Amino acid sequence: MTIIPSFPGNSNQRAEGGGRVREPSASQPAGRPRRSEVISARESAADQKVENSLRPQRLDQYIGQSRLKTILEMSISAAKKRGEALDHVLFYGPPGLGKTTLAHVIANEMGSQIHMTTGPSLERPRDIIGLVHQLEAGDVLFIDEIHRLSRIAEELLYPAIEDFVIDLTTGKGHATRTMRLSLPRFTLIGATTKAGMISNALRDRFGFPLRLEFYTCEELALIVNRTASILGVAIEPQAVQVVAARGRGTPRIANRLVRLVRDFAQYKGRASVDAALAAEALATYQIDSSGLDSTDRRLLEILIDSYGGGPVGIETIAATLGEDSDTLEDVYEPFLIQQGLVQRTPRGRMATPKAYLHLGRSVSSMQLSLDLNDTSASEPDAG
Ligand code: ADE
């Protein structure tokens, strides 16, 4: 078997449901999350360890994303009846909503192996060739952060995705030769938080481009209950609501909050988590009742207090906050927009009346700043 540089551990684990998993190893040690990591939807090493045990294995265990589940259920069933691999799938949407989990679920439902890698780790042609060389008929190839594939990697992948062949080039100059190799029919599952950064050529090669949505509070409550029961945490129904309401519509965050309230209860010597304890635990991490953390509130303060409600370019907000603009766009902004606290306009980001109310500012001050903005030159960087 070819050893692929992008899989440092080179370990083959068997996943429940029969899927053999090849995953890149985590580079960070596990540990307590920093405050800013509590709310971040990015996956930490600690998350990765626990999340593997919490992941639903089958579609019927998967909570939420009902539209997307129906599409997958129909297509998986049809592909199995025909004895074919499932068509290629592209999952896109904010981090932490279940793209990796769904890739595992698909492999389990299809009874196939899953090979996992990331866009940036497929840098050279031999990375791709080594990877596709291992594929067997019906396998799932999961490429996370697929928008970060190099151009060379992307072009090598096109015939592999479309016609299940790959062109190998050997030699140099006059001695260059191209050899076409056939591949077994496999399913590519791409995942990205930045659908806009995928070339049209790549996007068009996916049979199913599927967008993951934020979860409702009711769906998150079901997930919190499921997680608490797997982790053996005794949690009262009202405490479940407290955690779900602060989970930013994101299972990864809600599951992290379950672990935080569990630790807090243990620290306080309490056998079970009630609503007051859950609220106290999460307030310690400066998470407010809507799930906003100190960075979110600072972002709103910058918009409202420093720029009269906006519009403000993303680079300006990032520089003022001391965060990089990618993190703002991928991690913070989607939830603030979904909650109706921030609006994206061609001239930049704007605070909404709801944001003024959330920070306890009067909405009449918003009207005044809007009037001023109409006549003054607005901020140029509309990122
Ligand atoms: N754990 C994390 N995401 C989940 C989901 N969508 N359904 C059930 N359990 C989960």
State yes or no: pLDDT of 10 exceeds 90.
no
Task: Exactly one of 55, 246, 252, 349 is catalytic; name it.
Answer: 252
Give residue 124's pLDDT.
86
For residue 291, CA distances in Å to 43, 162, 171, 327, 358 come to 17, 43, 57, 17, 12
Q: In whole angstroms, what is the distance from residue 227 CA to residue 251 CA?
A: 10
Instruction: Choose the catalytic residue: 22, 47, 55, 100.
Output: 100
Q: Kindly tell me if the per-residue pLDDT of 165 is higher than 90.
A: yes
pLDDT value, residue 381:
45
Both tokens of 362, joined, read 């009067």
Give the start-to-end residue ranges of the domains of the chain. Answer: 3-211, 217-284, 294-369
Cβ–ligand 1 distance for 56 under 6 Å, the answer: yes
Whether the predicted pLDDT of 231 surpasses 80? yes
Distance 190 CA to ligand 1 centre (A): 19
How far apart CA 292 and CA 283 sit, in angstroms, is 11
Task: Decide which of 3.40.630.10, 2.60.40.1480, 3.40.50.150, 3.40.50.300 is the CATH code for 3-211.
Answer: 3.40.50.300
Is the CB of residue 63 below 6 angstroms from any atom belonging to ligand 1?
A: yes
Q: How far apart are CA 367 and CA 383, in angstroms?
A: 24
233-252 pLDDT tens trace: 999 999 999 999 999 999 99
Q: Where are the beta strands (DSSP E) in 315-364?
A: 342-345, 348-351
Residue nearest to atom 6 of ligand 1 (CA): 63
pLDDT tens, position by position, 336-353:
999 999 999 999 999 999
- The pTM (predicted TM-score) of the whole model is 0.84
Which pLDDT score, from 0 to 100, does residue 53 have? 85
* 208, 92 Cβ separation under 8 angstroms: no
226 close to ligand 1 (CB < 6 Angstrom): yes
Is pLDDT above 80 for 17?
no
CATH number assigned to the domain with residue range 294-369, chosen from the 4 options 1.10.10.10, 3.90.1150.10, 3.30.450.370, 1.10.520.20 = 1.10.10.10
Task: Among 45-49, 135-139, 196-200, 321-325, name the one with the lowest average pLDDT.
Answer: 45-49
> In the chain, where do the E strands start and end?
13-14, 20-22, 89-92, 114-118, 140-144, 165-170, 177-182, 187-192, 208-211, 342-345, 348-351
Task: Kindly state if the Cβ of 68 falls inside 6 Å of ligand 1.
Answer: no
The CATH fold of domain 217-284: Helicase, Ruva Protein; domain 3 (1.10.8)
Q: 183 to each of 117, 164, 165, how far by Cα in Å?
A: 18, 5, 5
Residue-wise pLDDT for 174-224, tens only, equals 888 888 999 999 999 999 999 999 999 999 999 999 999 999 999 999 999
The CA 366 to ligand 1 mean position distance, Å, reads 39
Structure-model confidence comparison of residues 41 and 169, the more confident one: 169
Whole-number Cα distances in Å, 128 to 26, 158, 206, 275, 305: 21, 11, 18, 50, 50
pLDDT of residue 368: 58
Distance CA 209, CA 120 (A): 21
Task: Among 232-241, 311-320, 361-370, 373-382, name the one with the lowest average pLDDT.
Answer: 373-382
